[in-house]
């Protein structure tokens, strides 16, 4: 039987290493031609995460847990390195050292938060310190709602301004997710009293409706971009990337709902 530590570790690494690999590409595309050093570093991270992804896909679920523990540590170090690189870029942009570059500061901060999340997940898995369900529900939602709110803002800013209807829809999603994020932060601040099964169930239900609708919007945008039917500077892979992150959040919400349903009401 497959060990759940092994299954969870490989599942996280398979998903997030591809994400980290793609971040390297997106950052590279946003640099100026003369930023050769930064471009080289981006290429380096691309191949590091490409190799990690290939290894994670090749390792069977029956792999020895000790081997996975070592792999997690190795990947955790790579995630720390790309986090440092992303924060360095953010510093350069915010001190106006890369004038004319095309990476938004919020996008660089966003991808660094995803690297930090990945690193923490691996650390928690290795330490065997996964959060109790009521805390995980609130913390994961606070994290992912901010990610979704950011995505809506990126899409709104990277679509051509002449795509007025789509820009308006992106702005509506941005507003919707900002509100959901505030609600999640309120619920977090009311801990532990807010961690009742009815409140957490309602919280998940409400978030799921909005995430599913944002996921559909991203999917439609991705298909339109791939078919060259709308005007934008969104890379088709970026459109697919944000779609996959919404799918992941939805999947997490489903898992939480199942676990909550199995938990005794308090
Ligand atoms: Fe991402
Ligand atoms: Fe993202």
CB 118 within 8 A of CB 20: yes
Tell me the whole-structure pTM to 2 decimals: 0.96
Centroid of ligand 1 to alpha carbon of 158 (angstroms):
15
Ligand approaching nearest to the C-alpha of 118:
1
Centroid of ligand 2 to alpha carbon of 241 (angstroms):
7
Centroid of ligand 1 to alpha carbon of 205 (angstroms):
24
Centroid of ligand 2 to alpha carbon of 223 (angstroms):
18
Centroid of ligand 2 to alpha carbon of 59 (angstroms):
26
Provide the CB-side half-sphere exposure for 157 (13 A, CA): 13
DSSP codes of every residue in 176-226? HHHHHHHHHHHHHHTTTTT--HHHHHHHHHHHHHHHHHHHHHHHHHHHHHH
Centroid of ligand 2 to alpha carbon of 106 (angstroms):
11
| Per-residue model confidence as pLDDT tens for the chain (266 residues) | 568 999 999 999 999 999 999 999 999 999 999 999 999 999 999 999 999 999 999 999 999 999 999 999 999 999 999 999 999 999 999 999 999 999 999 999 999 999 999 999 999 999 998 899 999 999 999 999 999 999 999 999 999 999 999 999 999 999 999 999 999 999 999 999 999 999 999 999 999 999 999 999 999 999 999 999 999 999 999 999 999 999 999 999 999 999 999 855 44
Centroid of ligand 1 to alpha carbon of 221 (angstroms):
17
All residues with CB under 5 Å from ion ligand 1: 19, 114
Q: What is the pLDDT of residue 262?
A: 87
Centroid of ligand 2 to alpha carbon of 113 (angstroms):
9
Q: What is the pLDDT of residue 265?
A: 45
CB 214 within 8 A of CB 182: no
Q: What is the pLDDT of residue 266?
A: 43
Give the domains, in start order, of the chain with CATH numbers: 1-130 (1.20.1260.120), 131-266 (1.20.1260.120)
Centroid of ligand 1 to alpha carbon of 239 (angstroms):
10
Ligand approaching nearest to the C-alpha of 19:
1
Q: Rounded distance, CA 103 to CA 90, Å?
A: 9
Read off φ and ψ for residue 232, nearest 5 degrees: -165, 170
Centroid of ligand 1 to alpha carbon of 192 (angstroms):
31
Centroid of ligand 2 to alpha carbon of 192 (angstroms):
29
Centroid of ligand 1 to alpha carbon of 264 (angstroms):
35
If you search the block for the tokens 């169930």, which residue do you land on? 201
Centroid of ligand 1 to alpha carbon of 20 (angstroms):
7
Q: Cα dist. 251→131, 247, 257 in Å?
A: 18, 6, 10
All residues with CB under 5 Å from ion ligand 2: 245
Centroid of ligand 1 to alpha carbon of 241 (angstroms):
6
Centroid of ligand 1 to alpha carbon of 67 (angstroms):
27
């Amino acid at each position: 039987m497959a060990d759940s530590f092994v299954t969870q570790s490989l599942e996280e690494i398979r998903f997030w290493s591809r994400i980290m690999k793609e971040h390297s590409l997106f950052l590279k595309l946003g640099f100026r031609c003369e930023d050769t050093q930064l471009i080289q570093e981006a290429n380096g991270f691309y191949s590091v995460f490409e190799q990690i992804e290939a290894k994670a896909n090749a390792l069977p679920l029956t792999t020895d847990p000790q081997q996975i523990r070592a792999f997690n540590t190795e990947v955790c170090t790579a995630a720390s390195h790309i986090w440092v690189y992303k924060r360095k870029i953010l510093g350069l942009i915010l001190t106006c050292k890369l004038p004319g570059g095309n990476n938004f500061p919020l996008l660089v901060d966003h991808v660094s938060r995803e690297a930090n999340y990945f690193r923490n997940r691996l650390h928690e898995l290795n330490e065997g310190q996964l959060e109790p369900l009521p805390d995980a529900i609130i913390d994961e939602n606070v994290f992912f709602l901010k990610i979704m709110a950011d995505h809506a803002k990126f899409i709104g800013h990277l679509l051509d301004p002449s795509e007025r209807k789509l820009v308006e829809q992106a702005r509506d999603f941005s507003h919707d997710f900002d509100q959901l994020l505030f609600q999640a932060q309120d619920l977090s601040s009311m801990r532990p009293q807010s961690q009742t099964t009815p409140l957490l169930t309602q919280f998940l239900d409400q978030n799921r409706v909005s995430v599913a609708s944002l996921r559909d919007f991203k999917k439609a945008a991705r298909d339109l971009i791939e078919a060259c039917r709308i005007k934008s500077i969104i890379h088709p892979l970026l459109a697919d990337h944000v779609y996959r992150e919404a799918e992941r959040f939805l999947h997490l919400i489903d898992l939480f709902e199942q676990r909550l349903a199995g938990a005794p009401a308090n």
